[in-house]
Structure 1
């Protein structure tokens, strides 16, 4: 009889131990789920600066065909700068990142240049590309001079067909101006998550930093459907729906 009671007590103890272990393993997951920021709860939208008044000199544009002559047209979008058309595109970064959609191409190099208001060269470089269709990014390195606050800059992205620069080389252009953060926004950004920072930049009309922040999240979380949806909605909101679902290269 004593032996049967001992076995019964052992079984009850084993069951209690299993329940305790299961609860201990589940609790951190529940807490993590409660404390992790929900991407779907943070809305990233772009509010154009200047109370929504368009700037005819801003945004992006293309010259020539934006495609190499030897490349076969497939009916898809041509080279496109990821900038809001007809609105001034701002950044608060000293050395921002620029984004351009490049269609499938035989070219293996692109030429990027940035010039100031006096048309003096600020930075230029040649970048290798894979030839696959997708969105290419160009970040100014630490060796490049910082953008000056309140100054306008013009940038060009040229597809080097046949690995050479020619007058008829397909190219896209854009403008950028560095803005100064106000103390309130600076304080909010310091406490924000990456997605919240993107939302703050967007509400402040700071396009380049909004785009770069969401792009970085896409790279870090390539399987997160909510971040992908945020990216798609952001591009669509500024008329870039034709390339909103294209991959980041």
Structure 2
């Protein structure tokens, strides 16, 4: 790939609103161009097969380019792949892409948090794993680090030194963790998370605070953050006097 040209991106997402949002995010990201949007695994494979012949069309949901028309379409450099598709699991799509020798890189963009799926996706060669929901800032950071990785390798010609390879891979795995909301610490977040992961039953904020010997108000802030990140499920606990207390359980 020419390091100076935009990286062309195919969005594979079955939810219409999410697909349009991701497409718009790509458009807003410097150095990237939207190649198309498809909504199933089969459409993704068809699009990739057709991209070499230069055929494309228009998505009826939002005027987005998809396979099936008659104008020139650039090759796909990067695929933003959802894991939960209506016809094929994202891992199956990923394996077929790799088996067909498609040279495009893949970033998993999904709500799936199952470690088995994460491990399988990593083993199959994804570049990054982005968990929904996310902000444009988080999305942009992933694409920026991917572009740095791609440009580093594209500039090396036919061979690279060890330091050049290390620098390219380091761009994909930045050492700085994602920023937490003001007032939250990674250590306490991990403690609250582990407490819920190891719990045999859903826990309330009072029960978590007692287990960690922390104030209920502090624990509640971390639980609300985990709920916003969809790491936990929150439900009212009935059967107690007065207003129902909220209880939380880790999404298995």
Superposed pair shares fold, TM > 0.5: no
**Whose RCO is larger (CA < 8 A, sep 6+)?**
1
Taking structure 1 as the reference length, what is the TM-score of the superposition? 0.22
Bigger Rg, structure 1 or 2? 1
Taking structure 2 as the reference length, what is the TM-score of the superposition? 0.22
**Higher fraction of helix:** 2
